[in-house]
Amino acid sequence: MSLSNVIKYLDKNEAKHLELLFDIIRQKSISATGEGVEECADKIVKMMNGLGIRAKKFKTEGLPVVYGEITSNPDALTVLIYGHYDVQPPDPLDQWLSDPFEPTIRDGKIYARGSGDDKGQFMAHILAAAALKKDGWPDINVKFLLDGEEESSSVSLPKFISDNREMLKADVAISSDGPKHPSGRPVVFFGVRGLLYVQITLEGAKHDLHSGNNGNVAPTPAWDIVRLLNEIFPNNGQCQIPHFYDDVLDATEYEKDLIKNMPFEKEGYLETMNLNDTDMDNEEFWHKLMFEPTVNICGLGSGYQGKGSKTIIPNQAMVKMDFRLVPEQDPNKIFDNLVKYIKNQYPNAKIEKFGVTVPTRTSAELNISKAVVEAVRLGSKQEPVVQPRLGGSTPDYLITKHLKLPSIWVPFANADENNHSPNENINVDDFYDGIKISATIIHKLAQQSKEKLLEDLV
Amino acid sequence: MSLSNVIKYLDKNEAKHLELLFDIIRQKSISATGEGVEECADKIVKMMNGLGIRAKKFKTEGLPVVYGEITSNPDALTVLIYGHYDVQPPDPLDQWLSDPFEPTIRDGKIYARGSGDDKGQFMAHILAAAALKKDGWPDINVKFLLDGEEESSSVSLPKFISDNREMLKADVAISSDGPKHPSGRPVVFFGVRGLLYVQITLEGAKHDLHSGNNGNVAPTPAWDIVRLLNEIFPNNGQCQIPHFYDDVLDATEYEKDLIKNMPFEKEGYLETMNLNDTDMDNEEFWHKLMFEPTVNICGLGSGYQGKGSKTIIPNQAMVKMDFRLVPEQDPNKIFDNLVKYIKNQYPNAKIEKFGVTVPTRTSAELNISKAVVEAVRLGSKQEPVVQPRLGGSTPDYLITKHLKLPSIWVPFANADENNHSPNENINVDDFYDGIKISATIIHKLAQQSKEKLLEDLV
């Protein structure tokens, strides 16, 4: 079999592939409400089997997982492709220019809920595998793990993984979700920052008080929260939660080289931040964004915030914070230390934990990582942006911690995919290119020595 | 003439005096909208003249002033009684148990807008003067200055005062507004804390940003405002605005003695503040409330404050602050220094001034002050709470700075008068007692040597 035959086949069958994607998009699969999720799983299983991929719907404690595979022999390299077939609710409906569940092409984009996130992306992998199979399957095993609850925190997936370790056994995971670089260049990334989201509430008097008749003697939770925040994260930019930085791994030399080569445009991105005249260079900028944890205020509120003046001493103050964490910071340990730190001073503080995502890291220096980057370069005919880590947080820990696999992300969607928003879309060409990039990755990995590819994996 | 005759007369004429008050209350006089203010002024002028007080309505640049006087001879002591006949709007109407402009007696209270604030109080002075006149006017001059814009910041009064200096010439001002002590004991106070109200707004990026994709590099106005507030007023409780404390006058020994004797109940007041277990003694407590300026956060807001979590870096943060100031701090000078202090660090900060009230101070140690306290003791047959200063802010500077008079406040209303709120009221008995207290003050001041009363006035 030859890759150029496969590419030719893909070029000829674009219309057919688009129609298969449209079929899957038309089937709602909203995990928040459960609407259509079972039916969508059934449809995908049927389609995969029709394309020559043995697939099955698996019950979980929540919504079903779709699992499928094409195997060559047990000793060959095994790639697990992770994706999700559930979608966000389409609200607000009145802001869509066309029916969110009737894919509509305008200006080279497929508009529909799930087009970019993530149906258009996992379908690219399925159609690539099917095309490769038609031409003679290479010496590689490919497994598909399609989550039905990704938009609902994948709550049932850890147990499903632990119940199906043998079936899911693999050497590497490749996933496609999220956007390419705004320039249109493909992106390959190898981990994410984690997240700890908390809300802290301090209270004072039984109700708001007159600021004249009580000023200087009444409790002042607004000042308390200002002082507390300043103590947690003072002017020097060093978070004072005990042990906060203990587990931080700095960038490797290889990673530092990668970020030196990342694009850093003063237009657009920096303009939006009013940072046009920043004196950060791209190394510092990307290091802060990928390799340093954040201590962020998402929301801060106390007292009167309407027009004009109201002379009160507010009896409550609240802050919502998120900490973006880097490997190997442990969000739950940090939460416990934060609680201890605050309670020491404010025993009655109310501290709530709203969310936790474990940070992840796969080395971009691994042979397998470099092989995937090279395949993306070949398949896309563009220089990929190789990004050691995402500033944001995705449940990549499902792969690295639960599946215990090196995890490589190759997003296929355009930067303006509007995921989670009205008028979600994927460029028709980015969908087609995604199929080719996936086919190239599978083909190229199959050509190489498994031992060589995995020799540097511990 | 004898005071006991006057008191007897007052006891006999309670019903008549109540009816005169009701007449004035029934006439709306809402300065915020202007509704009924002219008519109310006319009604008061007519009533005063009917009671033997020469009175006249004066045009101002805004709403009219009512001026009246009873004179004995130009060399006698002259007391100026300040009050206001305008009222707050009655909203929210649906929370009133009876028509706000139809005075209704329930459980010994007169419910109506303006009953306590301030019609029931200036009327007590007018009816006292009228009763004294019936019995033979003593050797004293009494002048009435009734403001029609007190609830609208008395904007026209300074010019009216400067245009009518000769007419308003007096030796001392006595005013009645606000409440007695919760125990029912009368209060005499001699000044107020001033006020500076500001809003500070800091801005960051062009809009809120994703906290993962931008965290550590985007501007963070929420952190900036936390740091700025902490710099303005750090943990040590010392305001860092340059020259903030320069003009603060500390309590005199006499004032310190007065606050030692002020009631300090752990029930009620301190309970509401959750300060039951405070280790402040009453000297420290009242010193903080009267003789020390405050740096207060009235409102603080940034980013997402709804339920649950939203992972953003807010692009704006805002704080509303009030500073309660003590003599001789100058709110405008402090504002200028605050602006300089902030702009030095945040040149683009938006700093708005929402309100200014100059702090005031009349010495409680003056002969005239002690004479009024003694008269209140006699007139009320209770031990007055002698309070050097109010924690709150009233436009007492109109009297001390514009009229340039020592200013003594003798509130007649009950502590639960609900001024500015629905179901405003004054106790029927407090209204009657107010008339007697006023009559006693005028009578007793007339009996004393003017030279002696004023010898310690500079």
Q: Is residue B273 part of a domain?
A: no
Summarised one tens digit per residue, pLDDT across range B194-221 is 999 999 999 999 999 999 989 999 999 9
Confidence band of B296 (pLDDT split at 50, 70, 90): very high
User: In 10 A of CB B241, how many CB atoms?
Assistant: 20
B25 and B147 in one domain?
yes
Q: Is beta strand A187-189 parallel, antiparallel or unpaired with respect to A385-387?
A: parallel
Above 90 in pLDDT, residue A321? yes
CA distance B322 to B354: 9
Per-chain mean pLDDT for chain B: 96
Above 70 in pLDDT, residue A231? yes
Q: Is residue A243 part of a domain?
A: yes
Quote the percentage of chain A above a pLDDT of 70. Answer: 100
pLDDT on residue A269: 77
Contacts of B216 in chain A (CB under 8 A): 288-289, 292, 294, 324, 391
B124 and B62 in one domain?
yes
Q: Is residue B221 part of a domain?
A: yes
Q: Is residue A265 part of a domain?
A: no
Q: Which two tokens stand for residue B228?
A: 């700025």
* A302/B305 touch (CB, cutoff 8 Å), yes or no: no
Summarised one tens digit per residue, pLDDT across range B106-134 is 999 999 999 999 999 999 999 999 999 99
B235 and B138 in one domain?
no
Handedness of CA B8, B13, B14, B17 (dihedral sign): negative
Can you give the three-state secondary structure of chain A, one letter per residue?
A: CCHHHHHHHHHHCHHHHHHHHHHHHHCCCECCCCECHHHHHHHHHHHHHHCCCEEEEECCCCCCEEEEEECCCCCCCEEEEEEECCECCCCCHHHCCCCCCCCEEECCEEECCCHHHHHHHHHHHHHHHHHHHHCCCCCCEEEEEEECCHHHCCCCHHHHHHHCHHHHCCCEEEECCCECCCCCCCEEECCECEEEEEEEEEECCCCCEEHHHHCCCCCCHHHHHHHHHHHHCCCCCCCCCCCCCCCCCCCCHHHHHHHHCCCCCCCCHHHHCCCCCCCCCHHHHHHHHHCCCCCEEEEEEEECCCCCCCCEECCEEEEEEEEEECCCCCHHHHHHHHHHHHHHHCCCCEEEEEEEECCCCCCCCCHHHHHHHHHHHHHHCCCCEEECCECCCCCCHHHHHHCCCCEEECCCECCCCCCCCCCCEEEHHHHHHHHHHHHHHHHHHHHCCHHHHHCCCC
What's B338's domain CATH number? 3.30.70.360
Q: Which of A82, A70, A140 is nearest to A402 (CA)?
A: A82
Q: Is residue A269 part of a domain?
A: no
Q: Work out the average pLDDT over A175-187.
A: 94
B237 and B129 in one domain?
no
Contacts of B209 in chain A (CB under 8 A): 272-273
B232 and B176 in one domain?
no
Above 70 in pLDDT, residue A1? no
B345 and B205 in one domain?
yes
Contact A407, A395 (CB under 8 A): no
Summarised one tens digit per residue, pLDDT across range B26-68 is 999 999 999 999 999 999 999 999 999 999 999 999 999 999 9
Q: Is beta strand B350-357 parallel, antiparallel or unpaired with respect to B172-175?
A: unpaired
Summarised one tens digit per residue, pLDDT across range A58-106 is 999 999 999 999 999 999 999 999 999 999 999 889 999 999 999 999 9
In A, minimum Cα distance to B270 occurs at: A218
- Residue B325's identity, in one-letter code, is L
Q: Which of A273, A292, A298 faces B219 most closely, judged by CB atoms?
A: A273
* A320/B303 touch (CB, cutoff 8 Å), yes or no: yes
pLDDT on residue A90: 93
pLDDT on residue A397: 96
Q: Is residue B413 part of a domain?
A: yes
Summarised one tens digit per residue, pLDDT across range A257-269 is 999 999 887 777 7
pLDDT on residue B278: 87
B67 and B91 in one domain?
yes
pLDDT on residue B242: 98
Q: Which two tokens stand for residue A57?
A: 């719907």
CA distance A60 to A34: 13
Q: Is residue B40 part of a domain?
A: yes
* B310/A320 touch (CB, cutoff 8 Å), yes or no: yes
A186 and A157 in one domain?
yes
In A, minimum Cα distance to B224 occurs at: A235
* A296/B274 touch (CB, cutoff 8 Å), yes or no: no
Q: Which of A212, A298, A317 faces B312 most closely, judged by CB atoms?
A: A298
Q: Is residue A260 part of a domain?
A: no
In B, minimum Cα distance to A219 occurs at: B273
Summarised one tens digit per residue, pLDDT across range A260-305 is 999 887 777 788 888 888 889 989 999 999 999 999 999 999 999 9
CA distance A222 to B225: 12
User: In 10 A of CB A235, how many CB atoms?
Assistant: 11
Contact B306, B326 (CB under 8 A): no
Distance, CA of B1 to chain centre:
34
Quote the percentage of chain B above a pLDDT of 90. Answer: 91
φ and ψ of B101, to 5 deg: -110, 15
Domain boundary among A355, A370, A395: A355
* A314/B302 touch (CB, cutoff 8 Å), yes or no: no
* A311/B235 touch (CB, cutoff 8 Å), yes or no: no
* A204/B273 touch (CB, cutoff 8 Å), yes or no: yes
Domain count, chain A: 2
Residues pairing with B352 in the sheet? B199
* A391/B214 touch (CB, cutoff 8 Å), yes or no: yes
Q: Which two tokens stand for residue B331?
A: 């709110």
Q: Work out the average pLDDT over A311-325.
A: 96
* B300/A222 touch (CB, cutoff 8 Å), yes or no: yes
pLDDT on residue B270: 85
Range of the domain at A442: 3-192+360-454
Kindly state the helix (H) or strand (E) to which residue B322 belongs, with its residue range.
strand B316-325
B346 and B233 in one domain?
yes
pLDDT on residue B272: 84
Summarised one tens digit per residue, pLDDT across range A401-446 is 999 999 999 999 999 999 999 999 999 999 999 999 999 999 999 9
Summarised one tens digit per residue, pLDDT across range B263-290 is 887 777 788 888 888 889 989 999 999 9
Q: Which two tokens stand for residue B414?
A: 């009950």
B228 and B141 in one domain?
no
A131 and A53 in one domain?
yes
What's B404's domain CATH number? 3.40.630.10
Above 80 in pLDDT, residue B1? no
Residue of A210, A214, A288 to mutate for B, most B C-beta atoms under 10 A: A214
Contact B325, B359 (CB under 8 A): yes
Domain boundary among B341, B356, B371: B356
Confidence band of B177 (pLDDT split at 50, 70, 90): very high
User: In 10 A of CB A416, how many CB atoms?
Assistant: 13
Domain boundary among A316, A338, A355: A355
A204 and A66 in one domain?
no
Q: Is beta strand A109-111 parallel, antiparallel or unpaired with respect to A104-106?
A: antiparallel
Contacts of B310 in chain A (CB under 8 A): 298-299, 320
